Chains A and B, each alone.
Chain A
Amino acid sequence: MATEVKVGQDERKIVQELVQNHGNKKAELIPILQEINREVGYISDEAIKELSEKMSIPSSHIYSVATFYRMLSTEPRGRHVIQFCESAPCHVAGGRQVWQTLKRELGLLNGETSQDNKWTLITTSCLGVCGVGPVMIIDEDIYGNVTPDQVPGILENYE
């Protein structure tokens, strides 16, 4: 429990600094949420409450925005987030088989986080690197032309 309280305090500090830097205009809400997501890994209830107070925006509005955009998460995620492109160009280029392999290797379904908190597996819409499909992104690393055989080797790169 003690650590959780500390996390809450840290988040409040992060939120306060962000609001100070960005200002409290509503147009800054999404940029601020993006930074919270980057720094903390997700947008917690604590962060939403603090942000609501500092920006004078109802927390219901902040929650509705935070849950609308794919790059923002209101749930904690694993240490590494795998985003797999499920759009048609990657699908046609063999993405279907890679996706099956990923699910099997990790023992996860779409949107799940592993018990040891290492992996979160999500699908995403087109990432704009269709010339090298099938494509997946692990954290910030882009992998293109992925084949099912390569999947275990790629996953091994992450601690």
Chain B
Amino acid sequence: MKTTRSMVLVSSDPESLDRGALDVFSTLQKQIIKYGLEEEITLSMITDISKHAMSPLVLIYPDAVIYGPVSADDVPLIVEEHLYKGRVVEEKQISAYDLSGRVAWLSARKGTLPAENRIVLKNVGLIDPENIDEYIINEGYEALGHILKEMTPEETIKIIKDSGLRGRGGAGFPTGLKWQFVKAAKGNKKYVICNADESEPGTFKDRLVLEGDPHAIIEAMLIGAYAVGANEGFVYIRGEYGLAIGRMKKAIQQAKEYGLLGENIFGTDFSFDLHIHAGAGAYICGEETALIESIEGNRGEPRSRPPYPTTVGLWQKPTLVNNVETLANIPAIIRNGPEWYKSIGTPSSPGTKVYTILGNVNVTGLIEVPMGITLREVISIYAKGMKGGANFKLAQTGGSSGSIIPASLQDTPMDFDSFTNVGVSLGSGALLIGNEEVCVVDLAKVLLNFFRFESCGKCNPCRIGNNRAYKILVNISEGVGTMKDLKDLQMMSDQLVELSNCGLGQTAGSPLKDILAHFRAELEAHIKLKVCPAGICSMSGRYAYQIQ
């Protein structure tokens, strides 16, 4: 690797590309050559976690200066002043403070916030995702080489088990145990699937890993495949993630060229082939058995379980299905050992969690923090408080399938078990923060509308229950609700949770349960006083449903 004086990074997330990041990149290339700096300066595209208003960004290291929003016209000045003469162009510089999601990456680069700890997002925004060499230089494929040369599959599984890693898709199932089940399942043919059908509203952590560090997923899948005895795998990426699909395709191609995918990897007997399956737009395909049905060419309708995919999965073969974020932890755990991993987070939920912060706060964006941090900390430290100094009313966690968490629970540590103990769930890691202008009836209406739309229709509790609950909520928001409606909502919530075939219906009941438990007064105000305290619901009666 040649010695470089400076590293110049251009953000290339979809928002930046939309705002001319490619022009900026090509102009930078030309200007760097014009000043004869091409030997001293490396130029890369990165996926950064930036705020729309500031993109495209140009980041210059080691100075850690950020320019934005940069247009092609700004480039000559930046190259001449900063790269050639060594003077910061102050008028285009933006402070880290203005950036959304700054916490996620600045602390990794400058170490300003000790609570921030990047494992999953270690490389995101720092390496060129389209260049396998940059991944390899940053300890990439080291863990794979280590286990293939020095460890048995059993030893590999033991490390993952000892680390205490739990699935980050929402359910929190112990990853090592899942690996062990697949390993123990009978059969010569087994599959590994990466669940990248990230469709939970408000969640885009997996997209950033796929776009910013695709090789980490390939490496983790290889490790998983070696451990469970699989030789073929699929990355199921939702169809809407065009850039992520492109990056992953390129990464697989490069890994093949380097002999990291294919026959006899690292000169061992281990062979592994990896394919991409692009989703066609169905939230339910994030459910692992629906995802498997979809790969097989069917409607994405969940299967009845048991048997679980660990024994009867893709084409009836034992199949390991892991979420993107879960997989992104694997190489680091192998490299650093289970003890290191357990030293982060809480005893029952080791490691970090990636959250997307959204809603009525000052700073929205992505953070990766140790498990066990509280909502109050997230809002006050990372989100820089509520927008306009408003009061915090509720947080909706984990996309639609999470919980509606009232302000009274904002000091509960956010890990799998602590949340379960107070009757709420962590979900996929989206934190939608709402102030007092958010109406719980309106919010629940949006969530139930989502579920009734995304329900696959296979089982009655989910297909009918979500629809009826939605209509009742509409009636309450139209000012024609009755107190009996609250009883019906409670019943539907219980039935959704108890009787639904899969996770979609089972979690669809939780927003109803949460608003009935924590925001009953607000519901009753809609019904008894015909008043929406937040002033959102029309209460006009115009769109009310006739419900028999």
Task: Kindly state whether residue B207 has any CB partner on chain A within 8 Å.
Answer: yes
Interface size class of B (residues with CB under 8 A): 35 or more
B contact residues around A129 at 8 Å (CB): 14-15, 204
Find out whether the CB atom of A89 lies under 8 angstroms from the CB atom of B18: no
Find out whether the CB atom of A27 lies under 8 angstroms from the CB atom of B207: no
Given A91-B446, A92-B443, do A126 and B200 touch, yes or no (CB 8 Å)?
Answer: yes
Find out whether the CB atom of B204 lies under 8 angstroms from the CB atom of A130: yes
What number of A residues sit within 8 Å (CB to CB) of B?
A: 40
Task: Kindly state whether residue A125 has any CB partner on chain B within 8 Å.
Answer: yes
Q: In the complex, what residue of chain A is closest to B301 when comparing beta carbons? A: A68
Find out whether the CB atom of B282 lies under 8 angstroms from the CB atom of A68: yes
A contact residues around B447 at 8 Å (CB): 88
CA distance A128 to B199 in the complex (A): 7
CA distance A3 to B454 in the complex (A): 37
Q: In the complex, what residue of chain A is closest to B244 when comparing beta carbons? A: A128
Task: Kindly state whether residue B500 has any CB partner on chain A within 8 Å.
Answer: no
Task: Kindly state whether residue A136 has any CB partner on chain B within 8 Å.
Answer: no
Given A129-B14, A132-B52, do A68 and B202 touch, yes or no (CB 8 Å)?
Answer: no
Find out whether the CB atom of A126 lies under 8 angstroms from the CB atom of B399: yes
Task: Kindly state whether residue A144 has any CB partner on chain B within 8 Å.
Answer: yes
CA distance A27 to B201 in the complex (A): 28
Among B58-66, B145-153, B291-299, B459-467, the one that faces the other chain is B291-299
A contact residues around B201 at 8 Å (CB): 87-89, 125-126, 130
Find out whether the CB atom of A72 lies under 8 angstroms from the CB atom of B297: no
Find out whether the CB atom of B297 lies under 8 angstroms from the CB atom of A65: yes
Task: Kindly state whether residue A16 has any CB partner on chain B within 8 Å.
Answer: no
B contact residues around A47 at 8 Å (CB): none
Task: Kindly state whether residue A102 has any CB partner on chain B within 8 Å.
Answer: no
CA distance A29 to B52 in the complex (A): 37
**0 or 1 for each of B413-439: is its CB under 8 Å from A? (1 = yes):** 000000000000000001010100010
Shortest beta-carbon distance, B313 to chain A, in Å?
Answer: 14
Given A33-B280, A72-B281, A144-B52, do A88 and B443 touch, yes or no (CB 8 Å)?
Answer: yes
Find out whether the CB atom of A86 lies under 8 angstroms from the CB atom of B446: yes
A contact residues around B240 at 8 Å (CB): 71, 127-128
CA distance A40 to B299 in the complex (A): 22
Q: In the complex, what residue of chain A is closest to B234 when comparing beta carbons? A: A27
CA distance A87 to B356 in the complex (A): 15
Task: Kindly state whether residue B156 has any CB partner on chain A within 8 Å.
Answer: no
Q: Which of B281, B295, B430 has the most CB of A within 10 A?
A: B281
**0 or 1 for each of A5-26: is its CB under 8 Å from B? (1 = yes):** 0000000000000000000011
Shortest beta-carbon distance, A37 to chain B, in Å?
Answer: 8
Shortest beta-carbon distance, B495 to chain A, in Å?
Answer: 23
Specify which of A29, A30, A126 is in contact with B202 (CB 8 Å cutoff): A126
CA distance A16 to B209 in the complex (A): 37
Shortest beta-carbon distance, A47 to chain B, in Å?
Answer: 15
Find out whether the CB atom of B202 lies under 8 angstroms from the CB atom of A89: yes
Find out whether the CB atom of A70 lies under 8 angstroms from the CB atom of B282: yes
Find out whether the CB atom of B359 lies under 8 angstroms from the CB atom of A72: no
Task: Kindly state whether residue B12 has any CB partner on chain A within 8 Å.
Answer: no
A contact residues around B214 at 8 Å (CB): none
Find out whether the CB atom of A89 lies under 8 angstroms from the CB atom of B358: yes
CA distance A141 to B18 in the complex (A): 8
**0 or 1 for each of A75-106: is its CB under 8 Å from B? (1 = yes):** 00000000000111101110000000000000
Find out whether the CB atom of B202 lies under 8 angstroms from the CB atom of A71: no
CA distance A133 to B296 in the complex (A): 34
B contact residues around A33 at 8 Å (CB): 280
Specify which of B100, B204, B359, B453 is in contact with A128 (CB 8 Å cutoff): B204
Find out whether the CB atom of B53 lies under 8 angstroms from the CB atom of A131: no
Shortest beta-carbon distance, A151 to chain B, in Å?
Answer: 17
Find out whether the CB atom of A128 lies under 8 angstroms from the CB atom of B297: no
The residues of A with any CB-CB pair to B shorter than 8 Å are 25-31, 33-34, 57, 61, 64-65, 68-72, 86-89, 91-93, 124-133, 140-142, 144-145
The residues of B with any CB-CB pair to A shorter than 8 Å are 14-15, 18, 51-53, 100-101, 198-204, 207, 238-242, 277-283, 294-300, 356, 358-360, 364-366, 396, 399-400, 430, 432, 434, 438, 443, 446-447, 449-450, 453-454, 456
